[in-house]
C-alpha cells in the first residue's frame, strides 16, 4: 500500500470537507476515492492533531521509517566490515612473515 498517495493539500481538503459536514461516502464518490481512503485521511488528521491517540502521528511514522532504513544500512555495513575483517585475517595468515635471517 502506497502511503500518502495524494498530496498533503489534497488530504487536508478532504478532511476539511468532512469536518464541514460532508459524509465520507459523498466525498469518496465526488473525488473517485475509496471510502476507506477518506476515512484513513480523517483518522490520521485526528491523530496528528491530538484528538486521537490510537496510532502514530505522521511525524512519528516518518521517523520510524527513517530509523528502519538507517538500521538496515547499518546492519549491511556491519556485515560488510565483518566479512572484510575475516578476509584480511585470512590474507595475513598466508603472507610469509619477514625474517631477518638473510
Any idea which fold 1-55 has?
Arc Repressor Mutant, subunit A (1.10.10)
Per-residue pLDDT tens for 60-97? 999 999 999 999 999 999 999 999 999 998 888 876 66
- For the chain, give the mean pLDDT: 91
pLDDT of residue 5: 78
Locate the domains of the chain by residue range.
1-55, 57-93
Q: Over the chain, what HEC string results? A: CCCCCCCHHHHHHHHHHHHCCCCHHHHHHHHCCCHHHHHHHHHHHHHHHCCCCCCCCHHHHHHHHHHHHHHHHHHHHHHHHHHHHHHHHHHHHHCCCCCCCC
Report which of residues 93 and 15 the model is more confident about: 15
The answer, yes or no, to whether residue 102 has pLDDT greater than 90, is no
The answer, yes or no, to whether residue 24 has pLDDT greater than 70, is yes
pLDDT of residue 1: 42
Amino acid at each position: 500500500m502506497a502511503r500518502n498517495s495524494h498530496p498533503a493539500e489534497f488530504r487536508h481538503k478532504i478532511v476539511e470537507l468532512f469536518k464541514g459536514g460532508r459524509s465520507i461516502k459523498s466525498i469518496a464518490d465526488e473525488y473517485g476515492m475509496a471510502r476507506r481512503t477518506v476515512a484513513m485521511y480523517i483518522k490520521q488528521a485526528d491523530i496528528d492533531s491530538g484528538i486521537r491517540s490510537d496510532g502514530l502521528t505522521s511525524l512519528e511514522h516518518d521517523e520510524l521509517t527513517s530509523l528502519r532504513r538507517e538500521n538496515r544500512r547499518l546492519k549491511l555495513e556491519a556485515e560488510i566490515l565483518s566479512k572484510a575483517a575475516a578476509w584480511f585475517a585470512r590474507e595475513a595468515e598466508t603472507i610469509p612473515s619477514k625474517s631477518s635471517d638473510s
